[in-house]
């Protein structure tokens, strides 16, 4: 149970930091700055603020999935502990 609580706090911390970083990026970069991805008809403009937000979200989801998988493996007795 102690390990589960620690993992829960770690997940919450990663999510909170991800949101803080994403909001900071959105606040620092104006919506007019970004990169244009070329396309067949028109280019697609992607602002840096959206790139930063979705990068943080992807990192948070990835860490959450890895922590949950690690906990499941440890519960099954396959872990090294």
pTM exceeding 0.75: no
Query: Exposed, middle or buried by CB within 10 Å (0-12, 13-18, 19+), for 22?
Result: buried
Mind listing the pLDDT tens digit for each residue in 15-53?
788 778 777 877 777 767 778 888 878 888 877 777 777
For residue 81, give the DSSP letter.
Answer: -
pLDDT band at 1 (very low <50, low <70, confident <90, very high): low
Domains in the chain: boundaries: 2-75
- Decide if 26 contacts 53 (C-beta within 8 A): yes
Q: What is the pLDDT of residues 2-14, one digit of tens each?
A: 676 777 788 788 7
């Amino acid at each position: 149970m102690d390990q589960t609580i620690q993992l829960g706090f770690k997940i919450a911390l990663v999510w909170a930091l991800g949101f803080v970083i994403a909001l900071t990026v959105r606040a620092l970069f104006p919506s007019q700055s970004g990169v244009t991805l070329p396309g067949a008809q028109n280019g697609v403009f992607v602002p840096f603020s959206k790139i930063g937000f979705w990068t943080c979200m992807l990192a948070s989801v990835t860490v959450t999935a890895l922590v949950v998988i690690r906990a499941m493996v440890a519960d099954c007795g396959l872990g090294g502990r």
